[in-house]
A and B are shown apart, each in its own frame.
Chain A
């Protein structure tokens, strides 16, 4: 093949770009060995002074034998990780439409702020006179969270969304126990819920009962009411729910839950859809975790760290875990134990973790909130919902959207695989074909309430132009699938650093670490 200038554009043996290179690399896509397969004894990427000590105080427990770590200089280490990084998709590269995960732009200002030595280089157990700014920031962030949710209290220490759920349910359990209601042992969870909800309820010893969805993708309120009884401790509801829909019967549900003597836990994973426009406290919620890494844009970092503060109603507030921050005559103070908490009329159920929570995430979230302000946050939720509805409206006729008829969606658009019926193409195939087109796929096969789910969350930080391109690609893929043209789907992805990976083999005989070749052979 020649291009218009008569320059060759393809290698001799190509056809599908499978020309084998001598090195195994393919241009910018390099094969990267494990660090353990590189390096040599004696090399290091860090210069340290020589220790002077002659006699140790290690009580005869000096470590003997090799640990097995490879030795590498700094340039080698830098190259290794830069090369690895190039094998990852990222928000900074393109639309990352994972439904329920909220992959929005991560402003770099927030990174810069979190790295100020006054935040990054302070110890959790320094005297309180030396950390007044840190306590003030946490107090300030708590104030914003309380106003945005219209809830009177917030527990700041949970380290992620699921940890926040755990905190919320333990608060509820403590409140029931304080009222002598330990017999309440059932937690109601809709079948569309995130897996963390039933897992959390089970972890604190509750029995989980599922509530089905109705044909409009909402909780079936009649069934829910029929399950409310003297043994129910709480309901865990995600709102907007995982079908991307607002639970329009929230207030009616809250009233029924409270009348039955139970508490209303809301999974706040999707708070980004309503921030600045709807305050969960006005819906009758008793506890809700807020994923700072979703709504308030702290980076997802390849799977964490997150942060999951939990806002609490007046009924639950006294049971919040330590530490608490109070304002006294000497400025801000940390209340770190039960006895001290009692002096402030608190009855904390315990402690979620060592120290005070994810400060590094608090600084980033605070910078994000200050940047947006009340007006910007309302625009965040508005634009997130416009973008999702634009995707839904543009694709509902070429794909299949089970709940498109039941009103606008919130921040994410849900499709099922009924448009793929009898084509032999699956949700997984569509996802893998999207990879070849330069996109990260949407969330697949979740929520469980529809068959072959495809959940698309564009977020407010995508432009119309970016969405138009994405919609065009997805729409063409859907048409080809329906036209029984399967070429793009078979064996996709073709243009990623790896082809489809054998997950079954990985699980059947788990290899979870590198082992030196000699040892690995001996083990076989």
Chain B
């Protein structure tokens, strides 16, 4: 077996030092009735070539987004990732290291985490950010738990235009933690509410000034949690930090990370300085070493599970290290000008697509404002149309009914995302495809 260095001679010599008769002898504490004497009924080991063949066969049964006109978004977006990003994250020193428990030999990881935290704080317009969460949806759930700790209240109001999967994720975690979830708008806020969770651009793609919403939340003593599922939007629109948000939970996949069928992604989590000690997740902080040189360490770990156990702010241990490295590198490559240009380009292409699609008979644009994703109302149910167009080699977007199966008003709605990877020819193909199936 190519990954396992011990030879029989090694093993025998080692068993001699140990004073054991055999490898099986080392497992003598296992109850006999539970110790296997035969191999599990699975195939035997295989060489690289064989494994590659099997895996490639499965991969070939999927339609890669880059191979067709492609318009899916709804919380996961296809962007171009520069080649150097994937090269750099595969350096052994990043790929095969662990959480920086020994900071003297982990300054590489710690410094990029510090840079990542700074980038996220800048993008969201907040004071501080943590070293990443699993993804946007779990970051939102953690934001809700944190708001409950900060306010000492147990009622959570989720905007109805929050991504339905985010609503379910928050509901599952928060209800298990004893919180009450209400879906509604600002009129649902009361003086027992811990926070109001608002997505911008929202699930339909629409953009709004959330300042009045944070004012409404603050008037009741509640926090405003802003959710961003498309982080590229912050290159074009006012960041939540400038609209009164107290916590920002975001999905960072768009920068540096592939679609990966939904994971791994990278959750971004930012807040105000005054709430730092209530934050979940790892934090990297600046300090000095014994010779006075600047260095970085994981800090405020007294919030964390390995110290505080049942009193921790979260049970989280692993974050999204490598995905957040990819984010940091891609963002460093873009820089101020590149990031803004990328955002403008996304918006540009999306406006072109929306205008062309709105001219198709049986198509109505439902979102007058949007960034790179918008909702169309079709004259027929969207789901069968998406399936039909997929057969014709066009992936037309996400039918809203897939995410809101119980909402009768959602049947004819289609979410369409357009990024810098979408070509004019792709847009024309969707226009032609929709014209055909709707005529």
Are A84's CB and B112's CB within 8 A?
A: yes
Check B291 for interface membership: any CB of A closer than 8 A. Answer: yes
Are B27's CB and A130's CB within 8 A?
A: no
Also in contact, A502 and B287, with CB within 8 A (given A49-B345, A85-B93):
yes
A85 proximity list for chain B (CB < 8 A): 88, 91-94, 108
Are B342's CB and A72's CB within 8 A?
A: no
Nearest Cβ distance between residue A463 and chain B, in whole angstroms? 4
Are A408's CB and B176's CB within 8 A?
A: no
Are B138's CB and A493's CB within 8 A?
A: no
Are B108's CB and A87's CB within 8 A?
A: yes
Partner of B299, one of A42, A88, A111, A503: A503
Considering the chains assembled together, what is the distance between the CA atoms of A199 and B303 in angstroms?
11
Considering the chains assembled together, what is the distance between the CA atoms of A57 and B64 in angstroms?
30
Q: Interface size of B by Cβ–Cβ distance < 8 Å?
A: 210
Nearest Cβ distance between residue A34 and chain B, in whole angstroms? 6
B306 proximity list for chain A (CB < 8 A): 194-196, 446
Check B334 for interface membership: any CB of A closer than 8 A. Answer: yes
Are B345's CB and A51's CB within 8 A?
A: yes
- Residue interface bits A304-338, CB-to-B below 8 A is 1, else 0: 11110000000000000110000000000000110
Are A354's CB and B331's CB within 8 A?
A: no
Also in contact, A279 and B34, with CB within 8 A (given A86-B108, A118-B62):
yes
Check A184 for interface membership: any CB of B closer than 8 A. Answer: no
Are A120's CB and B258's CB within 8 A?
A: yes
A181 proximity list for chain B (CB < 8 A): none
Are A360's CB and B63's CB within 8 A?
A: no
Are B135's CB and A353's CB within 8 A?
A: yes
Are A74's CB and B84's CB within 8 A?
A: yes
A245 proximity list for chain B (CB < 8 A): 29
Considering the chains assembled together, what is the distance between the CA atoms of A432 and B331 in angstroms?
34
B109 proximity list for chain A (CB < 8 A): 88, 302-303
Check A401 for interface membership: any CB of B closer than 8 A. Answer: no
Which residues 358-417 in A have Cβ within 8 Å of B in the complex? 358-361, 363, 366-367, 369-380, 382-383, 385-387, 389-390, 392-394, 407-408
Check A91 for interface membership: any CB of B closer than 8 A. Answer: yes
* The stretch of A8-16, A154-162, A224-232, A477-485 that contacts the partner chain: A154-162
Which residues 23-38 in B have Cβ within 8 Å of A in the complex? 23, 25-31, 33-36
B35 proximity list for chain A (CB < 8 A): 277-278
Q: Interface size of A by Cβ–Cβ distance < 8 Å?
A: 205
B18 proximity list for chain A (CB < 8 A): 386, 389-390, 392-393, 408
Of all chain A residues, the one with the shortest Cβ separation from B70 is A123
Are A505's CB and B177's CB within 8 A?
A: no
Are B333's CB and A46's CB within 8 A?
A: yes
Are B48's CB and A371's CB within 8 A?
A: yes
Check B428 for interface membership: any CB of A closer than 8 A. Answer: no
Of all chain B residues, the one with the shortest Cβ separation from A148 is B40
> Which of A36, A204, A513 is most buried by chain B, counting CB atoms within 10 A of its CB?
A513
A463 proximity list for chain B (CB < 8 A): 5-6, 10
Nearest Cβ distance between residue B31 and chain A, in whole angstroms? 5
Of all chain A residues, the one with the shortest Cβ separation from B397 is A125
Are A302's CB and B97's CB within 8 A?
A: yes
Are B335's CB and A162's CB within 8 A?
A: no
A134 proximity list for chain B (CB < 8 A): 58, 62, 261
* The stretch of B190-198, B215-223, B310-318 that contacts the partner chain: B310-318
* The stretch of A59-67, A256-264, A419-427 that contacts the partner chain: A59-67
Nearest Cβ distance between residue A427 and chain B, in whole angstroms? 13
Considering the chains assembled together, what is the distance between the CA atoms of A137 and B55 in angstroms?
8
B246 proximity list for chain A (CB < 8 A): none
Which residues 281-301 in B have Cβ within 8 Å of A in the complex? 282-291, 293, 295-297, 299-301
A306 proximity list for chain B (CB < 8 A): 318
> Which of A122, A123, A336 is most buried by chain B, counting CB atoms within 10 A of its CB?
A123
> Which of A53, A112, A126 is most buried by chain B, counting CB atoms within 10 A of its CB?
A126
> Which of A39, A121, A463 is most buried by chain B, counting CB atoms within 10 A of its CB?
A121
> Which of A41, A440, A443 is most buried by chain B, counting CB atoms within 10 A of its CB?
A440
Check B379 for interface membership: any CB of A closer than 8 A. Answer: no
A130 proximity list for chain B (CB < 8 A): 62-63, 390, 395
Considering the chains assembled together, what is the distance between the CA atoms of A383 and B369 in angstroms?
60
Check A44 for interface membership: any CB of B closer than 8 A. Answer: yes
Check B188 for interface membership: any CB of A closer than 8 A. Answer: no
Check B425 for interface membership: any CB of A closer than 8 A. Answer: no
Nearest Cβ distance between residue A245 and chain B, in whole angstroms? 7
Which residues 392-410 in B have Cβ within 8 Å of A in the complex? 395, 398, 402-403, 405-406
Also in contact, A77 and B84, with CB within 8 A (given A251-B34, A385-B23):
yes
Check B375 for interface membership: any CB of A closer than 8 A. Answer: no
Considering the chains assembled together, what is the distance between the CA atoms of A59 and B14 in angstroms?
71
Considering the chains assembled together, what is the distance between the CA atoms of A471 and B4 in angstroms?
19
Are B99's CB and A302's CB within 8 A?
A: yes
Partner of B390, one of A84, A129, A198, A376: A129
Are A278's CB and B259's CB within 8 A?
A: no
Are A303's CB and B102's CB within 8 A?
A: no
Considering the chains assembled together, what is the distance between the CA atoms of A186 and B427 in angstroms?
57
Considering the chains assembled together, what is the distance between the CA atoms of A493 and B75 in angstroms?
45
Considering the chains assembled together, what is the distance between the CA atoms of A322 and B391 in angstroms?
27
Considering the chains assembled together, what is the distance between the CA atoms of A390 and B59 in angstroms?
42
Considering the chains assembled together, what is the distance between the CA atoms of A498 and B289 in angstroms?
6
Are A355's CB and B263's CB within 8 A?
A: yes
Also in contact, A370 and B51, with CB within 8 A (given A61-B207, A303-B282, A507-B299):
yes
Partner of A512, one of B48, B285, B344: B285
Check A435 for interface membership: any CB of B closer than 8 A. Answer: yes
Also in contact, A354 and B335, with CB within 8 A (given A122-B261, A431-B102):
no
B15 proximity list for chain A (CB < 8 A): 386
Also in contact, A63 and B235, with CB within 8 A (given A120-B258, A120-B259):
yes
Are A352's CB and B104's CB within 8 A?
A: no
Check A175 for interface membership: any CB of B closer than 8 A. Answer: no
Check A170 for interface membership: any CB of B closer than 8 A. Answer: yes
Considering the chains assembled together, what is the distance between the CA atoms of A59 and B370 in angstroms?
8
Nearest Cβ distance between residue B439 and chain A, in whole angstroms? 21
Are B23's CB and A89's CB within 8 A?
A: no
Considering the chains assembled together, what is the distance between the CA atoms of A101 and B102 in angstroms?
14
Check A524 for interface membership: any CB of B closer than 8 A. Answer: no
7 pairs from A and B in contact (CB 8 Å cutoff):
A34-B115, A45-B335, A53-B347, A78-B88, A159-B135, A195-B317, A303-B109
Given A304-B134, A383-B6: 6 more A-B contacts, CB < 8 Å: A113-B52, A133-B61, A371-B46, A386-B26, A393-B19, A496-B104
